[in-house]
Homo-oligomer: A and B are copies of this chain.
């Protein structure tokens, strides 16, 4: 399959809801995800930078997505160099060594009934 996507993406929205419904399993925990599609024949090495409202950017966070695989990365799961605080506005920039596609999804289960939202991320130049 030919390469699909871009090497650089941005998501201007970002907020990990600070609570989840009682008894939520992992699937229903409040979370925010960057769904990454790597249609290439080789692994994608990606660096993520997190921008905040009132302090210096954090990162780079380094992840890999194997060839011809998808990774639905939860921002909640990033810990190195530092966890992203919940209940805090942020944005993110992705820089990959091969073209990928990035889609942004949030599941908010602060209340008894979950809410969802998704959008294609912003494809930066290249």
Binding site for B on A (CB under 8 A): 1-2, 4-5, 8, 10-15, 18, 27-28, 33, 35-37, 39, 49, 51-54, 56-57, 68-72, 87, 89-91, 93, 100-106, 108, 110-125
Contacts and interface: CB of A to CB of B under 8 A. Distances in A.
| Count of this chain's copies in the oligomeric assembly | 4
A12 B27 contact: no
A53 to B, nearest CB: 6
A69 B57 CA distance: 8
Given A35-B12, A37-B10, A118-B119, A93 B1 contact: yes
A72 B69 CA distance: 25
Contacts of A35: 12-14, 89, 91
Which 5 A-B residue pairings sit nearest by Cβ, starting from the closest? Answer: A70-B91, A12-B37, A113-B113, A12-B103, A13-B35
B37 A87 contact: no
Given A4-B93, A39-B10, A72-B13, A118 B104 contact: yes
B51 A37 contact: yes
Given A37-B51, A118-B119, 16 more contacts: A2-B125, A4-B8, A12-B37, A12-B103, A13-B103, A13-B105, A14-B35, A37-B93, A57-B68, A70-B91, A72-B89, A101-B122, A103-B119, A117-B117, A120-B120, A120-B122
